[in-house]
């Protein structure tokens, strides 16, 4: 079974600076999808960014980008120019490309942004 590991339970960053959240996963599959979700306090979980495993190019969404290292099974999230609104729980998730609908989440990283 696939597992997702987020080794940083908590991270903090100064406003306007850059922070990187780590995620590693374990799978024997070659085709899959990786996601970063953001869950602000008392608010719903929203998709931050998504990466298809067959794509070599790292996904980017405005201030958010990933470093996808398929061989190393690593999928880190970089947040540039951090803003106070980025403070949230961040979950890394893995989903198989077949019809198995089980999306595996990591334990999450709580990000604090200091003004």
- Which has the closest alpha carbon to 9: 98, 91, 73, 104? 91
CB of residue 44 to other proteins, shortest distance in Å = 4
Distances (CA, A) of 29 to 2, 6, 19, 59, 107: 9, 20, 29, 20, 21
Q: How far apart are CA 12 and CA 84, in angstroms?
A: 11
For residues 16 and 97, which CB has a smaller minimum distance to other proteins in the complex?
97
CB of residue 47 to other proteins, shortest distance in Å = 6
CB of residue 74 to other proteins, shortest distance in Å = 18
- Which has the closest alpha carbon to 71: 30, 22, 20, 23? 30
For residues 62 and 99, which CB has a smaller minimum distance to other proteins in the complex?
99
For residues 37 and 75, which CB has a smaller minimum distance to other proteins in the complex?
37
Give the residues lining the site for other proteins (CB under 8 A). 4, 33, 35, 37, 43-47, 50, 52, 91, 95-103, 105-108
């Amino acid at each position: 079974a696939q597992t997702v590991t987020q080794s940083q339970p908590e991270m903090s960053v100064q406003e306007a600076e850059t922070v990187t959240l780590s995620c590693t996963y374990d799978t024997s599959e070659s085709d899959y999808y990786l996601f970063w979700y953001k869950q602000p306090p008392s608010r719903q979980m929203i998709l931050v960014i998504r990466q298809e495993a067959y794509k070599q190019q790292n996904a980017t969404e405005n201030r958010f980008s990933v470093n996808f290292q398929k061989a190393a099974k690593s999928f880190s999230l970089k947040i540039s120019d951090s803003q106070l609104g980025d403070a949230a729980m961040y979950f890394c998730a893995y989903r198989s490309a077949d019809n198995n609908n089980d999306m595996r989440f990591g334990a999450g990283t709580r990000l604090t942004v200091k003004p």
